[in-house]
Every structure is written in structure tokens, then in C-alpha cells.
Structure 1
């Protein structure tokens, strides 16, 4: 039995995005894997499946719905953790080549297992620090969510960004020179969370 059914997940995700049955089915698999792994290795401090769906899947899919037009061709999720927001974005937007950068071994191992289990073809897991990516490599969009030190993460992100940054945060951070916030959206079901889309000037 799944932790939550497709219909339960669809109901929880309704405030965040319009999803199809295929996406909901993938979220069932992803949630089952996350709950199972989280019981033995601390991937997320959120423990209840319903909150995982709202906070992790919902907010990630909200970001997927606000990537701008035209859609990015490449996306780097910096400090991906258990895959948020990068992996749900990859599932919702299979036309985007997504790189999940995660330096903690237990989390990058989980990400590889999640990509394999979910059969995602448009995802690369970079099991290392983002600043050690091949020199000169850039991505149309870089996402940041729940990073410990936003200022340090933004400094790492800046040379990797070709066009825009997408930040899921509770405050407006000091952006690197040459970036401006062009969209600021409150996160559904959140008292203080916002989605910031910042582009190069």
C-alpha cells in the first residue's frame, strides 16, 4: 500500500499546480521512497507524508509552473538535498535537462536511487559541490531552496547562471550584482514563503 494514494496527493497539490495523472503517480512513488529512506537516514526534518507533499512536492511544482517563457533548456538545482525543487521540476517538465547538485553522500545516493526508481531520463546527479562543476559550465536557470547560507549559495550560483535564478525563500536576499527580481509570488499554504525569480540585467 502506498503512503498516500494518487487522489490524496492530487488533493494536497491542488493549491500549487495543475497536475496530470502521470505526474501524480510519480509523486506516489517518490513519496514512498522518501518516507522509507527518511526513516533510516535524515533527508528531511519534515516527518508527516502530508507535509512532505505540501512543502516539498507542492512548492517545487509551484516553481515548475513559474519558470518563465520560454522555458529553460537547462536547470541546476544547487544544494538539491532530497531533490527539491529540481526533481519534481524534471518530472513536470521533461523537456528541461536538470542537474541536481548535492555534496552530501547520503543525499546524492538517495537522488540517484530516486532517479532510477522513477525512470527519469532528463536528470543528472552531480554528487559534489556545485563550484566543482566543469569550468565554464552554465545553466539557463539555477534554483535554490532551503539552503543554510543563502548569501554563500548565491555567490556560488552567480557564475553558473546564464539567465535567471529561482529562489524559494522566506526573505528577499541580497542578490549578486547584475541581477534583479522580476517576479515575487507568495507560496501557497505558507505564511512567509515566497518564490523569487531574478534575471540578469
Structure 2
């Protein structure tokens, strides 16, 4: 199974973190990539098969989103985490944040637990539906979630007062959602991809 050198990884990730990649991040992502490739051969974690494309689309875009997470964030939920995006790269980039990965599909949740254990992360894995989560989070992030329009109210209900909803999506999807974002940043190297942040004032 072809894995990439640390130098190749770093050069692929550079556009997503133009201010520089913190020490130790590339090494952890290399171990993550190895695990992802191994598991993806038998469990469909991602339709992307090329390691370089995995690094750009999954790691790079997640790290870019991590750079946009507000400084004061203490807790972050990755809702519908799948293979761990954007939650695991954000955890690697921002170790001070308490990240929770919510994934209701058993095989994917098993992969997430294995990834967290292998990488030595403090990340929590919630192997059930997001609606059943009791806590509130400073940031709730969603990326490529099925029926995103339906999931947004679920996500917003999990955001603590004054927190943020973060969507890794497309401009077209944003127009369909018809919601005013606080900030919208285009994803490097993507024609239509964006990271949108929505400020959530109050919740129940």
C-alpha cells in the first residue's frame, strides 16, 4: 500500500495552512493516512482512493477549517464524522480543544475509536445519533453530511449560547440553505468549496 513521504505530505498541505504547519502535525497525519488506507480497503470510509487526493480533500480542507475555528473555542463536535473529517485533523492541529466525533454507523465509529487510540488523541467518539447527545459545544462542524438541510436544526440545538455552527460545503449548497453566514472562506484549490461559520446567539 503506497503511503506518502513526510515531505510530500507537507507540500500537499502547505496551501491549506499558509502560516506554516505546527511541529508534529505532519507525523500524526502520516499515521492517520496509513490507517485510513488500510481500513478503507475493507470498509468504505471514503470514495477517494488516491492517497494524494485524500490528503488534499480530507486532511487539507479539515486543517483549513481548523484554522478558522475561533481562538477561544474549548469544545467542538464533528457531527456525522464518517472517517473523522474535519474532527481528527482539527484535533491534531488544535490539541487544546476537546473534540467529540459523532458517528452513528458502527463500522465507521469503530474506525474512529481505532484512529483516536493509534494517534494518542484525547478525542471522544459518540457512536450514536447526534440528537441523543446531551452536551452543548462551542462549535458544531459538519462536512458532506447527507441531507444537510435536515441536519442543521439538529446541529444548531447542540451549539452552546454564543457558539458557532461550521459547515464545510459548497456555495451552491449555501444558497439552497438560504442562511446568512458570519464568514464564508473559499477552500484552497476548490472551485466551489467553502467553509461557512454561523454565529448561534441563543439556544433554548
What is the TM-score with the length of structure 1 in the denominator? 0.93
Matched residues, number? 194
Q: 1:156 aligns with which of 149, 154, 157?
A: 154
CA RMSD of aligned residues (A): 1.4
Residues 48-197 of structure 1: pairs in structure 2 closer than 5 A = 48-68=50-70, 70-121=71-122, 123-134=123-134, 137-162=135-160, 163-170=163-170, 171-172=173-174, 173-174=176-177, 180-197=180-197
Cα displacement string for residues 92-141 of structure 1 (whole angstroms, at most 9, x for unaligned residues):
101100000000000000000000000012x100000010112xx20000
Structure 1, unaligned runs of 5 or more = none
Structure 2, unaligned runs of 5 or more = none
SS of equivalent residue, structure 2 residue 177: coil
Partner of 1:36: 38
What is the TM-score with the length of structure 2 in the denominator? 0.91
SS of equivalent residue, structure 2 residue 116: helix
SS of equivalent residue, structure 1 residue 4: coil
